[in-house]
Structure 1
Amino acid sequence: MHLSSSILSTTLCLAASVSALAQKQSRASPGLPPSLDPWYTAPDNLFSYPAGSIIKVRPDPLNLYAAIGTNATSASYNILYRTSDSNQMPSFAVTTLFVPAFRSSKKKNSALLSYQIPYNSPSVDASPSWTLGSQYSSTFGDITAALQQGWYVSVTDFEGPNATFAVGVAEGHAVLDGVRAVTQSPLSPASLSAAAPPPPPPLTNKWSISMWGYSGGSIATEFAAELQSSYAPDIAIAGVAIGGLTTPLLNVVDSVNESPYACLIVLGLWGYANTYPVVESYLLSRLTPEVQASGNFTMGRNMSFEEAVEPYYDVDVYSYFIGGGNGRTWAAGHADVCV
């Protein structure tokens, strides 16, 4: 397997990622994180579900609609649906769907915004369906603004159940299948406002669909836009807004290393390791004996971005690996692995 430098360049997002998930407040309700919540599981016959099929739906257990306010949204739901990983194998993802409190009578179609929040973590417990409950000031303003336009807003856990941070193909699939789950399923604008599933058949299939992502969210959004014609030609995208894109590989690595955001190197590498066992084996084989003993690199696997900032602040991540920045084979490519 060969992971090109252009792919790794998408693994590392710079300072802009801080603003999207910076402030923590008390949760809307207790709930359980994805790693402990049995709802975040797929059926044994997952392969039999077409991509984008809804597997299960529940009212959002964090009651996020109440935190946003009934002047903007009337309900919020978690939707677990079938998608495909980077190897085209069946997987699943979850999206949190917000229903607008009011729809504009001037609009014939229902508008959907697929909003990709940059959560930048190889831990499934950093997924937005869980962390939105503690990020009111940094993300709810954007969601509220869209809802007040009468738009449905879908916030996807685009890294999936294995938290494949920065694996763009899998993230793009998750975004596109999340759109399918909302717009091409028995869940219709009318039924989404109802109290509980199972919903009635859709009243209309007319949707105006847009996607938005910044920084880490731009990875998923850009891949979704580029993959749409081949992976999901049935979806018509009205518009895409992306920003905070990464620069070429070694420029990104050099600028992030020994900076306040050095954690993004560690988190990005673990995102790939979560996806490709050969990457994990290779990275672990290149760690220095001291780093292997200390666990300084491996501890990043279960951290959120916020948790990782302090321990990796200004750290020389190159020094974790044999040869350091001089060899840099762990980043630029070695044998069959280039990350």
Structure 2
Amino acid sequence: MRRNRFRPLLLAVVALVSTMGAAVPDPPQGPAGDAFYTPPSPLPDGADGDVVWWRPLPDQSGARGYLLLYRSRSATDTPIAVSGRVLVPTTPWTGAGPRPIVSVASGTRGIGDRCAPSKFQPDYEKPLFIDAMLRRGWAVAITDYEGLGTPGLHTYVVGRSEGHTVIDAVRAATRLPAAGLAAGGPVAFSGYSQGGGGAAWAGELAPSYAPELDVVGIAAGGTPADLEVVAKSLDGGIGFGFLLLSALGLDAAYPELDLPAYLNERGQTLYETQQDACVDAVFGYAFGHIADYTTANPLTTAKWQARLAENELGARPPKAPVFLFHGSLDEIIPLSQAQALRRTYCAAGVDVTWGTYVGEHVTTLAFSAGDVVNYLGDRFAGKPARSNC
């Protein structure tokens, strides 16, 4: 797809017009400590992406940081508050137009509040590619997703929820005066594993949910595009713990799924004790089976099948070019379902750059980092994407 060279100017005009009129007060600074993550009740009126409150983070090497609580929407379009961070290079932006923003969708941290990306250490993605993005002068927004840090259980791998929060992190970044970021500039979505799903969902939802954004590129790797295929692969596999997290995440997003109704005694114990689990707990469940924890497999029921289908990528092809990549030896997220997403996007006319790396799930994240940054750099530079559909 050829990018309209007048689109950035039109978007800048739209952004300027939207800010005209009555002055909008600066958002307040939020409370210290974990109280920051508990939103006011009721949630103040506002638009998706509005900042509820914020506070500065300790300076990092070459970047200023901000912790935000901002408005977004759940998988079922309910207004929610979501936490996240914005990182802005200390060096002035000297490129044409506003400073670019990359909304990074984090990989799996877990489902408990203590696992939120803004809390979880070490931040394994920062040295791999976030630091490189900052060195290029781009601002980076990083959502905590729904229910990580904030009240409620994290809606792990639920696509519409993740897409909303990734998109609204960009809006929030430009609505925080302290960050000094202007609306109307080029935007990209990037993520791996759970984050690959979040970035791809943001790309699919942006044309309808945030048409004002100038989305120039999407980088999505290790992407769980078809949750049913992923679930069948994980059942009995080394990554079975990720399937447990996914079941809890879907149940949190869609209460009518009623996961507890399918659990045996062992499953009930897990349900009651592991809702604060972080990613380090996942491999304690390696090679488990759904049958070990249930009296009946919920994934085979009509209700669960419908929600799994609803969370399959590909029904809303993105308008921006996509770098879609995967490890050829991925033992967690099957390569086959990522290849299927590639075919779907290509058939819909999306400019897809497809890449495979000789690595399993974790090593592919490291192998691909440089290519991700270079791909987004070309999109921000206005270079045409080279599709290899």
Alignment TM-score, normalising by the size of structure 1: 0.73
Match of 1:20 in 2: none
Match of 2:39 in 1: 42
**Which of 229, 251, 261 is equivalent to 1:285?**
261
**Which of 300, 309, 318 is equivalent to 2:274?**
300
Q: 1:159-216: CA deviations, max 9, x gaps?
A: 3433111111111111111111112x252xxx426xxxxxxxx7x5442211101110
- 312-321 vs 229-238, greater mean Cα deviation: 312-321
3-state SS of paired residue (2:187)? strand
**Which of 75, 78, 81 is equivalent to 1:86?**
75
Contact 1:297/1:320 (8 A) holds in 2: no
Match for 1:156: what amino acid?
T
2:212 corresponds to 1:240: no
Match of 1:24 in 2: none
Structural mapping, 1:185-204, within 5 Å = 185-187=175-177, 191-192=178-179, 204=182
2:300 corresponds to 1:332: yes
Contact 1:167/1:272 (8 A) holds in 2: yes
Structural mapping, 1:249-260, within 5 Å = 249-260=227-238
2:242 corresponds to 1:264: yes
Match for 1:302: what amino acid?
D
Match for 1:102: what amino acid?
T
Q: Distance in 2 between matches of 1:289 and 1:95?
A: 36
Match of 2:26 in 1: none
Q: Distance in 2 between matches of 1:186 and 1:38?
A: 20
Q: Using the TM superposition, give the Cα deviation of residue 56 of structure 1 relative to its aligned residue in structure 2, in angstroms.
A: 0.6
3-state SS of paired residue (2:52)? strand
Match of 1:150 in 2: 137
Q: Distance in 2 between matches of 1:290 and 1:308?
A: 16
Q: Distance in 2 between matches of 1:50 and 1:186?
A: 14
Q: Distance in 1 between matches of 2:260 and 2:134?
A: 45
Residue 298 to residue 258, structure 1, CA distance change in 2 (3 Å): farther
- The CA RMSD over aligned residues, in Å, is 2.3
Q: 1:46-82: CA deviations, max 9, x gaps?
A: 251111111111012xx3x43xx2xx32x11101111
Q: Distance in 2 between matches of 1:39 and 1:168?
A: 26
Match for 1:111: what amino acid?
P
3-state SS of paired residue (1:52)? coil
Contact 1:83/1:90 (8 A) holds in 2: yes
Match for 1:139: what amino acid?
K
3-state SS of paired residue (1:128)? coil
Q: Percent identity?
A: 25
Q: Which stretches in structure 2 are left out of the alignment for 5+ residues?
A: 1-31, 309-389
Match of 1:22 in 2: none
Contact 2:117/2:123 (8 A) holds in 1: no
2:286 corresponds to 1:313: yes
Match of 1:214 in 2: 192
Q: Distance in 1 between matches of 2:81 and 2:156?
A: 15
Q: Which stretches in structure 1 are left out of the alignment for 5+ residues?
A: 1-33, 194-201
Q: 1:129-186: CA deviations, max 9, x gaps?
A: 111xx11454333111011001111111123433111111111111111111112x25
Q: Distance in 2 between matches of 1:136 and 1:273?
A: 27
3-state SS of paired residue (1:178)? helix
Q: Distance in 1 between matches of 2:213 and 2:226?
A: 30
Q: Using the TM superposition, give the Cα deviation of residue 308 of structure 1 relative to its aligned residue in structure 2, in angstroms.
A: 2.7
Q: Using the TM superposition, give the Cα deviation of residue 244 of structure 1 relative to its aligned residue in structure 2, in angstroms.
A: 1.0
Q: Using the TM superposition, give the Cα deviation of residue 247 of structure 1 relative to its aligned residue in structure 2, in angstroms.
A: 5.6
Match of 2:49 in 1: 52
3-state SS of paired residue (1:109)? coil
Q: Using the TM superposition, give the Cα deviation of residue 250 of structure 1 relative to its aligned residue in structure 2, in angstroms.
A: 4.3
Tell me the matched-pair count.
271
Match for 1:333: what amino acid?
T
Match of 2:113 in 1: 124
